[in-house]
Structure 1
């Protein structure tokens, strides 16, 4: 009975996404006439055809998003793990100061205008890939998670044994600490990957070059264009414009955008699933 209940609950969690996938393959006229149905009366790929009419831009945006997700996640893991390991060691004399620096940024932010000035005027990163990567590569929340992991899950005896054998601090960290820290790294890696994949705001601020638009920003522009067409359909009263609006797959295109933006990142979960649950319970139990 418990397995049946868990199965039904899992189905209830997956059902909304499956419903969105079905709607994305539904004919727009059928959807307007019959409403939302799990088994539509008429199937259609017009929504995906409409999106792929952007040509190479969609594939380019996929490539940009994939690049910033991979590079940004790796950079986040490197910076966060090194920072957290340093402040987790009791013999590091400045651990209190650097812990306060990380925690302070969780309470107070510099604001949008200073951040924009730093990125564009000081670092000169406007219209570059780094403008989509660097502003998000350090997370105080992730630093505190990894600090807790290093303090509770990495025995001091392992670090001391490495130093007795003549290993330096970096070698101890690389060969002894990191191999047993995969649950924590997988947790913050998944959070970072999701953040980079779903980010569109940084592109809105720092990217004017269409070749550097990430996927989420491109889909947002497509949605904006659809809204503009629908809202201005009656202006001028042109018959051909009215026909275009009537055949425009507005609702199904929205569903297709959800599918295109969601499906690729779903494949990241199997790589993190092995460690994710253990990583979520960091510090919950200390032996």
Structure 2
């Protein structure tokens, strides 16, 4: 029996290693292409063995007139502030729905569940944000996405439901109120699921460019994702116009390598952020999804 388990472990390790390599190769290819000369990309296509390396893509992105660093700061600020507020609101709502002494908590849960099925649409969303005066402010990138996701809410609620009632009763005997119980008992014991939804909210805020398209006209408030989207679009448009008017490209803009460089720059912070939450992620997702 032990030999069978060892063979299973060996096969499992080999299989996971193989899958990991397959998942890593596309990312490695994107990284290599971002440092490949544009002419070599046009001749050889995407290749793991570039004939000539170049920093033109990164020079273009970090040129003196590029607002890239400012957009990076906007995205980091929006992600940190928005994620912190969204996690706090979701945690408080989850505690409310998990606390057995709260009346009508099941009816409230049904109310939030309905929002997962039905959507009000784009026009009321835009009118509401405009009426709140969010347009062309940094809050336009935070508040519209701040309302917690019902999915994340139910993850937190189901996790908190498993906290023993004895802890709550003991705290109430000592005179503790809901705020003390929530922040000193429920939230510390719910760190795995809170770390999980932090990752969800963080990725959502970091990759969000829709709010900028709809609510922001000020270039100084463009987040990273929207700025890079505009940059790629403008490079493609310039190349098309040059090709149409003169029949040849007057300037060799690194179109393909810029696309790969922007991909590396956008996924970089997420890759660096994920390992800090990895030990909580699977545990919080599995336990929080269990329904009593």
Common fold: TM-score over 0.5: yes
Gaps of 5+ in 1: none
The answer for the alignment partner of 1:273 in structure 2 is 278
Gaps of 5+ in 2: 1-9
The answer for the alignment partner of 1:124 in structure 2 is 133
Alpha-carbon offset, residue 286 of structure 1:
8.1
Distance 1:231 1:24 in 2: 21
Q: Does 1:194 align with 2:186?
A: no
Q: Does 1:263 align with 2:252?
A: no
Alpha-carbon offset, residue 56 of structure 1:
5.1
Moved over 3 A (4+): 283-287
Alpha-carbon offset, residue 226 of structure 1:
1.5
The answer for the alignment partner of 1:204 in structure 2 is 213
Residue among 35, 52, 73 paired with 1:42: 52
Distance 2:259 2:282 in 1: 32
How many equivalent residue pairs?
A: 281
Q: Does 1:172 align with 2:164?
A: no
Distance 1:132 1:18 in 2: 31
Residue among 135, 149, 153 paired with 1:143: 153
Residue among 115, 123, 130 paired with 2:125: 115
Could you say if the C-alpha distance between residues 222 and 68 of structure 1 is closer, same or farther in structure 2, counting changes exceeding 3 Å? same
Distance 2:289 2:118 in 1: 27
Could you say if the C-alpha distance between residues 41 and 150 of structure 1 is closer, same or farther in structure 2, counting changes exceeding 3 Å? same
Alpha-carbon offset, residue 90 of structure 1:
2.1
Alpha-carbon offset, residue 236 of structure 1:
3.3
Distance 2:188 2:102 in 1: 22
Give SS of 2:120's match: coil
Q: Does 1:243 align with 2:250?
A: yes
Give SS of 1:114's match: helix
Distance 1:104 1:201 in 2: 24
Distance 1:106 1:286 in 2: 18
Q: Which range moved further: 180-189 or 4-13?
A: 4-13
Alpha-carbon offset, residue 248 of structure 1:
1.3
Give SS of 1:268's match: helix
Distance 1:56 1:230 in 2: 19
Distance 2:33 2:154 in 1: 41
Q: Does 1:83 align with 2:93?
A: yes
Give SS of 2:287's match: coil
Distance 1:204 1:193 in 2: 19
Distance 1:177 1:286 in 2: 18
Distance 2:59 2:18 in 1: 34
TM-score for the superposition, normalised by structure 1: 0.93
